[in-house]
């Protein structure tokens, strides 16, 4: 490793960071993470902290998962790469598809299309949705509907269905034919409605209204996260996603569940769709499928959709889409080991229990600190703390405020993530009760320092 001075001096000289202004990186040195064990990361300056971010919502099993490391090493020795484009496959990816089929069977998802990450998975699902309608002779169904505040990655398709201006404006014009409805976000919504059940009904009515306006026969798919993540952890009322599903079915619109964060246990259920009792047509996965040990993803496909593709005799079902790294054997080996560990450790249970502890603890902080306007979570290990300048106006705080909380929290023992006015918590699903207390105490110190 290069020495400390070299690393600090050169970080922003030759690299640009995602989701960051280059000038900002030049002014502010980053935390340079050099090691990790269990649920803790260490940096160049010797700090060791609990990772309240879980990498980036992906390191569900923590950083010391030996079976995953061994599976990757063994696969690198055996077969580091071969493509699965037409005519070739590999043993690992075949076994993985069978395992995923079993895992996602309760969601009605029985086929897998492999990708290199979440944005790739979203792009794949959006494309296959259009193709599905073309195979069925409804070529006019090309539009997409989605939720404001939703996050679906950064490819042009995903950015177009994204519901946050930060990821859109600089890159417009985006895809035509993408339309957004209000998110079931009780703290801020155009209906001024704070009751989650009533708000869900209002958002569903807005969806019906948009479908009537666009014409159902022009719409390919509706895409949503079962619990909105990057937009600030927005869990909809339990009636919302089933309501979306019913409306989609009525109008022949496909439902894409973006489960890049929610699949594999984070919500305290094995998938977000299962949490709400919904059976989507596609589920986009990535992140915890390999826990960050290898870049990988999979789109899971419903049996009914698969049947349409597989029984087509017209030639319209040939898939003209795929990535060099689709079905990468090392990624597949990592995913197989992750899935086995995820099930063996039954992480879903700890996610639910520790999730409640974290959520209740965050609400306790709200009782103490006026800067907190809203706390959202309550379904597994996804919690957001929204900061405000004052509770009456709900005005956003100065940018320096969440940054200060983050800085003091870090020096007090926990890495937390800032996204706009929100502090977002998405720790590994294997953390202990004591680890949760470390995160809460660090945040308490951060708020107390304002």
Ligand X SMILES: Cc1ncc(COP(=O)(O)O)c(C=O)c1O
Q: Which of 123, 225, 386, 444 binds ligand X (CB under 6 A)?
A: 225
Which of 72, 126, 204, 260 is close enough to bind ligand X by CB under 6 A? 260
* DSSP one-letter string for 84-124: -STT---HHHHHHHHHHHHHHGGGTEEEEEEESSHHHHHHH
Q: Quick one: 152 or 379, whose CB is closer to ligand X?
A: 152
261 is a site residue for ligand X (CB under 6 A): yes
Q: Does 119 bind ligand X (CB under 6 A)?
A: yes
User: With binding defined as CB under 6 A, does residue 122 bind ligand X?
Assistant: yes
**What number of chain residues touch ligand X (CB under 6 A)?**
14
Q: By CB under 6 A, is residue 263 in contact with ligand X?
A: no
Site for ligand X in 272-311 (CB under 6 A): 286
Among 111, 152, 376, 379, binds ligand X (CB under 6 A): 152
CA distance 27 to 360: 37
Contact 300, 285 (CB under 8 A): yes
Q: Per rule CB under 6 A, is residue 258 in the interface with ligand X?
A: yes
Judged by CB under 6 A, the stretch of 223-231, 245-253, 274-282, 348-356 that binds ligand X is 223-231
Report which secondary-structure segment, H or E, holds 179: strand 178-181
Nearest Cα to 112, choosing from 291, 294, 292, 331? 331
Considering the complex, what minimum distance in angstroms separates the CB of residue 262 from ligand X?
8
Pairing of strands 282-285, 383-387: unpaired
Among 55, 153, 265, 413, binds ligand X (CB under 6 A): 153
What contacts 27, CB < 8 A, 6 or more positions away?
none
* 62, 117, 402, 413: which one binds ligand X (CB under 6 A): 117
- In this structure, the strands spanning 254-258 and 219-224 are parallel
Q: Which range of residues in 20-28, 112-120, 275-283, 377-385 is near ligand X by CB under 6 A?
A: 112-120
Buried b (16+ CB within 10 A) or exposed e, 408-442: bbbebbbbbbbbbbbbbbbbbbbbeeebbebbbbb
Is 229 an interacting residue with respect to ligand X (CB under 6 A)? yes
Interacting residue ranges for ligand X, rule: CB under 6 A: 117-119, 122, 151-153, 225, 229-230, 258, 260-261, 286
């Amino acid at each position: 490793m290069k020495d400390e001075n070299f690393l600090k001096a050169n970080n922003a000289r030759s690299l640009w960071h995602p989701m960051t202004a280059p000038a900002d990186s030049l002014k502010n040195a980053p935390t340079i993470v050099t090691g990790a064990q269990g649920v803790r990361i260490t940096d160049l300056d010797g700090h060791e902290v609990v990772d309240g971010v879980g990498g980036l919502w992906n390191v569900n099993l923590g950083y010391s998962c030996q079976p995953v490391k061994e599976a990757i090493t063994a696969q690198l020795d055996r077969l580091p790469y071969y493509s699965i484009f037409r005519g070739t496959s590999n043993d690992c990816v075949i076994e993985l598809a069978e395992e995923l089929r079993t895992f996602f069977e309760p969601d009605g998802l029985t086929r897998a299309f492999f990708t290199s990450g979440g944005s790739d998975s979203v792009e794949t699902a959006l494309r296959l949705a259009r193709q599905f309608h073309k195979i069925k002779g409804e070529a006019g169904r090309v539009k997409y509907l989605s939720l404001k505040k939703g996050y679906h990655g950064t490819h042009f398709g995903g950015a177009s269905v994204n519901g946050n201006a930060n990821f859109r404006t600089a890159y417009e014009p985006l895809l035509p034919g993408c339309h957004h409805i209000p998110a079931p976000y009780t703290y801020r919504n155009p209906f001024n409605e704070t009751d989650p059940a009533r708000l869900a009904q209002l958002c569903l009515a807005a969806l019906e209204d948009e479908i009537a306006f666009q014409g159902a026969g022009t719409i390919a798919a509706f895409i949503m996260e079962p619990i909105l993540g990057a937009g600030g952890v927005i869990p909809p009322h339990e009636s919302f996603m089933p309501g979306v599903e019913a409306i989609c079915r009525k109008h022949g619109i496909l439902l894409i569940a973006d489960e890049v964060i929610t699949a594999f246990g984070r919500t305290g259920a094995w998938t977000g769709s299962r949490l709400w009792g919904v059976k989507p047509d596609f589920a986009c996965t990535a992140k915890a499928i390999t826990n960050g040990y290898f870049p990988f993803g999979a789109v899971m496909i419903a049996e009914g959709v698969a049947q349409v593709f597989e029984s087509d005799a017209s030639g319209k079902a040939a898939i003209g889409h795929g990535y060099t790294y689709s079905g990468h054997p090392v990624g597949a080996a990592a995913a197989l080991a992750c899935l086995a560990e995820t099930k063996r450790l039954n992480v879903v249970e700890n996610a639910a229990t520790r999730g409640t502890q974290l959520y209740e603890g965050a609400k306790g902080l709200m009782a103490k600190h006026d800067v907190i306007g809203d706390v959202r979570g309550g379904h597994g290990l996804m919690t957001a703390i929204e900061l405000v300048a004052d509770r009456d106006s709900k005005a956003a705080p100065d940018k320096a405020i969440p940054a200060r909380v983050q800085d003091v929290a870090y020096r007090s023992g926990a890495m937390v993530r800032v996204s706009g006015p929100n502090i977002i918590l998405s720790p590994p699903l294997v953390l202990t009760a004591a680890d949760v207390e470390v995160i809460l105490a660090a945040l308490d110190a951060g708020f107390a320092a304002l």
